[in-house]
Amino acid sequence: MDFLVMLGFIIAVNWLCLTLVWLISLKIKDVGIVDIYWGIGFVIIAWACLLFNLQGNPTVISQSQWLINIMGLPICSYEKEISR
């Protein structure tokens, strides 16, 4: 049951972030900013997982958490450069 709750939480966080990015893209009339979200989206999902898991074990932070952060942020900046 915990897995399904965590999955629902992650989907909700991702849905909220994508909706905000989409609304911003409508306001500035440039849908290219949605591509920027994909790199940072992995980081946001990883942090959502971490926040969900911190409730049970406050000392847990895995190597995959750091690897996702290390790889996700450069992807975000690379997509930003391409979209210009």
pLDDT one-digit tens code per residue, 12-40: 999 999 999 999 999 998 888 887 787 78
* Runs of H (alpha helix) within 29-62: 33-54
pLDDT of 27 reads: 93
Torsion from C-alpha of 51, 55, 56, 58, nearest 10 degrees: 70
Domain count for the chain, please give it: 1
Range of the domain at 17: 2-83
pLDDT of res. 78: 61
13 contact partners, CB below 8 Å, separation of at least 6: 44, 45, 48
Residue range 65-82, pLDDT digits in tens: 777 777 777 776 665 555
pLDDT at 4: 87
Crossing angle for the helix pair 63-83 and 33-54, nearest 10 degrees? 160
Query: For residue 19, what is the enclosing H or E element?
Result: helix 2-28
pLDDT at residue 47, as a whole number: 83
Position with higher pLDDT, 23 vs 6: 23
CB 41 within 8 A of CB 80: no
